Amino acid sequence: MAVDQASTETDEPTFLVVLNDELQYSIWRADAEVPAGWRSEGTTGSKDECLAHIDEVWTDMRPLSLRRQMDGQS
């Protein structure tokens, strides 16, 4: 019996990009509640799509508080 490829491809979970108050990014399954301290950034898709988006937008890995301290804005 042949496996229907279309149905197996849609079984991949959907993820969303989340962001915390320190402007750090992560991904979270879209079917789960976003953990405390994090909020949805607005991007959803496959795991790879979400990780690719984070690679594009998260250019400074330092937490916001450290960036401010290093810039003398603290």
pTM of the model: 0.74
Identify the structural domains of the chain with CATH numbers, from first to last.
10-70 (3.90.820.10)
For 72, the 3-state DSSP assignment is coil
CA atoms within 13 A on the CB side of 19: 14
- pLDDT at residue 10 tops 70: no
pLDDT digits (tens, 9 = 90+) for 16-74: 999 999 999 999 999 999 999 999 999 999 999 999 999 999 988 888 888 888 888 65
Spatial CA neighbour of 46 closest among 9, 19, 8:
9
- List strand residue ranges (DSSP E) for 1-74, in order: 15-20, 25-29, 38-45
Q: 16, 27 in Cβ contact below 8 A? A: yes
Quote the CA–CA distance of 53 and 57 in Å, as a whole number: 6
